[in-house]
Amino acid sequence: MHRQVNSPSENQAVGEVFDAYEGNYADTVNRSVSFTGLDVDFFTRVKARYIRQIVDAELAEAEGLDLLDIGCGVGNYHGLLAEHFQSITGVDISRASVEKAGERHPDVTYRHYEGEVLPFSDGSFDVAYTICVMHHVPPGNWARFVCEAHRVLRPGGVFLVFEHNPWNPLTRRAVNQCPFDADAVLLSRPKTVSLLSEAGFCDVTARSILTLPPLNDILFAADGLLGRLPFGGQYYVQGRK
């Protein structure tokens, strides 16, 4: 996904990198994960299913909730989530990606921004998530990134961070083979938990995912049961404002 950095010139440069990948983002990711026999659409469906499951468990009546995708790219998740929420908003520093997302999902609101302060008022959303974005954020800006998510959530709102597991060798292989992950700094699960706690989130918990490929309902349930183990290809951390 897309990045947030400190200086405007850095933000512009990174935005331009992802502008260039707007048309072939999926193909690029697919090449980096081809050794798994799976593709980017599979991983997208799995994480969208986890989002729906978590929100259903944490918040009643998801159909009446407003959702924010931080680092939305071309909106790959939004078709899988649209019927589950009252509204979806996506924000990204890649202008070309936001424009493409708008063409794909005309009922979703998309905003381009410079990668620092989210362009929304305090308490605008019930749920926010960011998927494989924070490893592109310079470590010195991780805390600010999480605090911005906290700011735009309503009281009781839920924030979800999905990230690569740096302790998984297959994940590291995929990251090393992906050209726009060249600058990635992978966050450990404990580090992400700490960032959310320090930003003021409560009830912060973490689970591994993709410990095994959840190719059907039974394997998805098994993947969830293995979530306490630190071996999954990715993980999520959730917190409540």
CATH code at position 72:
3.40.50.150
Compute the radius of gyration of the chain from its Cα atoms: 16
Q: What is the pLDDT of residue 182?
A: 77
Residue 119: pLDDT over 70:
yes
Does 215 fall in a domain? yes
Q: What is the pLDDT of residue 29?
A: 59
The proportion of the chain whose per-residue pLDDT surpasses 70, expressed as a percent, equals 82
Residue 4: pLDDT over 50:
no
Give the pairing type, strands 109-112 and 87-92.
parallel
Does 40 fall in a domain? yes
Over range 63-81, report the average pLDDT: 94
Does 20 fall in a domain? yes
Structural domains counted in the chain: 1
pTM over 0.85: yes
Residue 7: pLDDT over 70:
no
**Which amino acid appears at position 217 of this protein?**
D
Does 3 fall in a domain? no
Tell me, what DSSP letter sits at residue 180? G
Over range 115-127, report the average pLDDT: 95
Q: Give tens-digit pLDDT for 147-192.
A: 999 999 999 999 999 999 999 998 888 888 777 677 889 999 999 9
Residue 30: pLDDT over 70:
no
Give the pairing type, strands 87-92 and 202-209.
unpaired
How many angstroms separate the CA atoms of 188 and 217, rounded?
28
Contacts 24+ apart (CB under 8 A), 42-48: 42/213, 43/210, 44/76, 44/77, 44/80, 45/80, 46/209, 46/210, 46/214, 46/220, 47/77, 47/131, 47/162, 47/209, 47/234, 47/236, 48/77, 48/80, 48/81
Q: H-helix or E-strand containing 15?
A: helix 8-21
Give me the domain span that covers residue 147: 8-240
Does 106 fall in a domain? yes
Residue 62: pLDDT over 80:
no
Q: What is the pLDDT of residue 116?
A: 86
Does 83 fall in a domain? yes
Q: Give helix 25-32 / helix 8-21 axis angle, nearest 10°.
A: 80
Does 2 fall in a domain? no
The proportion of the chain whose per-residue pLDDT surpasses 90, expressed as a percent, equals 68
Does 32 fall in a domain? yes
Confidence band, pLDDT 50/70/90 cuts, at residue 1 = very low
Higher-confidence residue: 180 or 201?
201
How many angstroms separate the CA atoms of 19 and 222, rounded?
38
Q: Give tens-digit pLDDT for 84-117.
A: 999 999 999 889 999 999 999 999 999 998 888 9
How many angstroms separate the CA atoms of 10 and 204, rounded?
31
